[in-house]
């Protein structure tokens, strides 16, 4: 409680508040004045805020009266950081923004029920990390033009090789030679430099290969080619069938590298993989109780333990912690302001995961590694010595029980949604399918922070399963035999995310059974842990 002598005297001359309260008896209602001590407290609080140009809504005075003068001055300081203007009206929302309780998990001892029989333990682990696809410890780029050229050429060459293997009735030609084949229909493979809409509503493209550039028009009347061309994005590597004219070339068809068609893989072992991403540990908005519930469930506590018993792996697609300085005024959203302390909490939490579960994890844009992709693995200094942790770079490539697996945090998914018609952040799995079609995890170079390594680490070679995070929204689909899992988040929406228009599905954990080839989502928001299919 605030005490009179903890408030200074500066507010004594301020106008008096006329605060009244009502008491009811069985027979009548009396309006009485509050006692002087209470009144004085309120007057002083109002005065302290007013001195700094802050007006407060009467309904928040009660909450402020519970705080010490020191706490009130701290709140005023934070509010002034948020509002530099002279006069601001502070309501419940403004107050919550600077005073939200720090939430830290209370670690409960986990005692496994005697009937918990983890079948996954019997199978052991059969997995391999593709170290040659991991940038950790071997970043070569200095960010100069030469690095950029090597990176782009490597990307072009890999995707061109795939496109050249695709059958076509048209003869293939390089850009410069194609210009001379007037009247013929030829296939050119190139990287898209520019895409525009003409005044008449057609699409114009400029593509480039090793020999030069080519201007191509996609007429809106050619419905099939036009619909495909709408999905072309900058830096796409495509095969384009064109009718060569005297002044310009006209597109007839567009082909992306795409994934080969195959059946979905299954295995004999009755094993499952659990997926987690975007916990943002250290944030006030971290779903601590729900996460702890999930960790207990992995130990057989709660309903549906038959699903938990089969989990042999957990994949984490980045953003383990909230980090510091990732967005404006993030400090007000942090329960833990030191990134080392954030990772200490990660360690404490993951110690609760049973030993028979292997945890393969990559960083995201909030983790303590460089922001540019490919990102190196989160270091041991941060993660400690947890024996079942396997920390790899982003993107990360592994073979898990025969499944060619990609872990990618997913920063490029936002740019896919904003550049390809029909995609939305609410369906991240559809954006991932567009990445698979392009055989590249970050197709638009300037819209992702990409370090120009000499080899293109974003190249998709083979893939039976891909796990992404970043969008904080769960999603699942299958595409040409590849399983796509967007693993949601463990963070309630922050004020910043609300302002950005984010959609989130916190506390839903996808679990994929490798034998049945089936996904199940478990909702940890409540004790009953619902199954959502």
Distances (CA, A) of 445 to 193, 236, 493: 11, 10, 29
Least Å distance, CB 384 to Fe ion, is 22
Query: Which of 321, 330, 325 shows the shortest CA–CA distance to 282?
Result: 321
- Span near Fe ion by CB under 5 A; candidates 71-79, 187-195, 315-323, 354-362: 315-323
- Span near Fe ion by CB under 5 A; candidates 5-13, 220-228, 233-241, 318-326: 318-326
Q: Which is nearer to Fe ion, 76 or 504 (by Cβ)?
A: 504
Q: Which is nearer to Fe ion, 181 or 493 (by Cβ)?
A: 493
Residues facing residue 213 across a β-bridge: 208
- Return d(Cα 269, Cα 523) in angstroms, integer: 25
320 near 386, Cβ under 8 Å? Answer: no
| Footprint (CB under 5 A) of Fe ion, residues 276-305 | 278
Question: Which SS3 state, helix, strand or coil, does residue 412 take?
Answer: helix
Other CB atoms within 10 A of residue 117 CB: 13
Q: Tell me: does residue 333 bind Fe ion (CB under 5 A).
A: no
Q: Which is nearer to Fe ion, 188 or 339 (by Cβ)?
A: 339
Q: Which is nearer to Fe ion, 468 or 482 (by Cβ)?
A: 468
- Span near Fe ion by CB under 5 A; candidates 316-324, 326-334, 512-520, 525-533: 316-324
- Return d(Cα 101, Cα 232) in angstroms, integer: 47
Least Å distance, CB 394 to Fe ion, is 12
Query: Which of 226, 274, 265 shows the shortest CA–CA distance to 118?
Result: 274
Q: Which is nearer to Fe ion, 278 or 453 (by Cβ)?
A: 278
Q: Tell me: does residue 367 bind Fe ion (CB under 5 A).
A: no
- Return d(Cα 410, Cα 468) in angstroms, integer: 6
Which of 319, 373, 401, 434 binds Fe ion (CB under 5 A)? It is 319
Q: Which is nearer to Fe ion, 278 or 373 (by Cβ)?
A: 278
Q: Which is nearer to Fe ion, 281 or 353 (by Cβ)?
A: 281
Least Å distance, CB 228 to Fe ion, is 33
Question: Which SS3 state, helix, strand or coil, does residue 292 take?
Answer: helix
What counts of helices (H) and strands (E) characterise the chain? 15, 23
- Return d(Cα 440, Cα 52) in angstroms, integer: 53
Number of residues that bind Fe ion (CB under 5 A): 2
| Footprint (CB under 5 A) of Fe ion, residues 18-47 | none
Q: Which positions touch Fe ion (CB under 5 A)?
A: 278, 319
């Amino acid at each position: 409680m605030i005490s009179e002598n903890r408030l200074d005297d500066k507010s004594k001359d301020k106008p008096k508040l006329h605060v009244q309260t009502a008491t009811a008896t069985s027979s009548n209602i009396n309006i009485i004045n509050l006692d002087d001590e209470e009144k004085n407290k309120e007057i002083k609080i109002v005065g302290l805020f007013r001195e700094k140009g802050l007006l407060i809504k009467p309904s928040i005075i009660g909450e402020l009266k519970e705080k010490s003068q020191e706490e009130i001055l701290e709140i005023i300081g934070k509010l002034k950081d948020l509002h530099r203007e002279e006069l601001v009206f502070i309501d419940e929302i403004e107050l919550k923004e600077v005073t939200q309780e720090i939430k830290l998990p209370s670690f409960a001892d986990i005692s496994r029920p005697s009937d918990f029989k983890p079948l996954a333990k019997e199978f052991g682990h059969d997995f391999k990390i593709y170290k040659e696809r991991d940038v950790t410890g071997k970043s070569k780029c200095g960010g100069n033009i030469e690095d950029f050229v090597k990176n782009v050429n490597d990307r072009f060459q890999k995707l061109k090789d795939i496109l050249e293997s695709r059958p076509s009735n048209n003869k293939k030609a390089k850009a410069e030679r194609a210009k001379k084949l007037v009247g013929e229909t030829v296939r050119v493979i190139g990287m898209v430099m520019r895409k525009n809409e003409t005044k008449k509503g057609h699409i114009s493209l400029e593509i480039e290969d090793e020999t030069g550039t080519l201007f191509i028009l996609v007429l809106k009347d050619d419905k099939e080619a036009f619909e495909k061309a709408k999905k072309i994005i900058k830096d796409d590597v495509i095969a384009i069938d064109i009718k060569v004219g005297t002044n310009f070339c006209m597109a007839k068809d567009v082909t992306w590298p795409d994934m080969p068609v195959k059946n979905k893989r299954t295995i004999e072992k009755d094993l499952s993989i659990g997926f987690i991403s975007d916990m943002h540990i250290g944030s006030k908005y971290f779903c601590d109780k729900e996460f702890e519930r999930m960790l207990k469930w992995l130990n057989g506590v709660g309903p549906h333990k038959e699903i938990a018993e089969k989990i042999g792996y957990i994949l984490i697609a980045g953003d383990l912690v909230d980090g510091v300085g990732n967005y404006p005024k993030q400090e007000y959203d942090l329960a833990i302001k030191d990134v080392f302390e954030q990772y200490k909490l990660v360690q404490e939490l993951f110690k609760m995961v049973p030993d028979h579960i292997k945890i393969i994890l990559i960083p995201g844009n909030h983790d303590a590694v460089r922001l540019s992709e490919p990102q190196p693995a989160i270091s041991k200094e941060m993660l400690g010595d947890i024996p079942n942790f396997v920390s790899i770079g982003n993107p990360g490539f592994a073979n898990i029980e025969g499944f060619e697996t990609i872990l990618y945090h997913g920063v490029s998914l936002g740019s896919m949604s904003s550049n390809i018609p029909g995609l939305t952040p609410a369906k991240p799995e559809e954006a991932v399918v567009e990445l698979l079609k392009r055989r590249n995890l970050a197709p638009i170079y300037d819209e992702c922070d990409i370090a120009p390594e000499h080899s293109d680490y974003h190249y998709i070679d083979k893939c039976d399963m891909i796990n992404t995070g970043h969008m904080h929204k769960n999603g699942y689909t299958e595409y040409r035999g590849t399983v796509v899992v967007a693993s949601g988040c463990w963070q309630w929406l922050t004020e910043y995310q609300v302002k950005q228009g984010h959609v989130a599905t916190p506390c839903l954990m996808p679990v994929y059974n490798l034998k049945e080839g089936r996904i199940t989502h478990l909702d940890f928001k409540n004790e009953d842990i619902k199954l959502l299919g």
